[in-house]
Amino acid sequence: QVQLVESGGGLVQTGGSLRLSCAASGRTFSSYAMGWFRQAPGKEREFVAAISGSYVNIYSTNYAESVKGRFTISRDNAKNTVYLQMNLLKPEDTNIYYCAANSANALHTTKESYAYWGQGTQVTVSS
């Protein structure tokens, strides 16, 4: 069982930056692939980024086209935490952002592939 708690959301102006954090419980965190998704009211939850698990600090990452070059996913296994650094934010990035974990250690982009979810953190980008 993995429990996830997101933090770091807030209000930022267009072009600004935020860093989201996701703290995970559980001794198997290092082996889990972690993902970030986002969802706006009335819309489907969409993939943002994913990072593989690793015991040797070598990771693979995957990003949605809409955030490539602006967002960076990273993790610190010693702290059981995954991050999403968001730069050059746009109003269309306004969403609730969710952290997710999958034990298959694959860079899945579909929400159905992730068994564990956090409660979400709101990001609002003003124009």
Could you read off the pLDDT of 21-49 as tens digits, one per residue? 999 997 788 889 999 999 998 999 999 99
Question: What is the number of helices (H) and of strands (E) in the chain?
Answer: 0, 11
Residue 33's pLDDT is what? 95
Structure confidence at residue 28 (pLDDT): 83
Per-residue confidence (pLDDT) for residue 60, from 0 to 100: 94
Cβ contact 93:86 at 8 Å? yes
The three-class DSSP label of residue 114 is coil
- pLDDT greater than 90 at residue 105: no
Window from 5-9, 46-50, 53-57, 110-114 with minimum mean pLDDT = 53-57
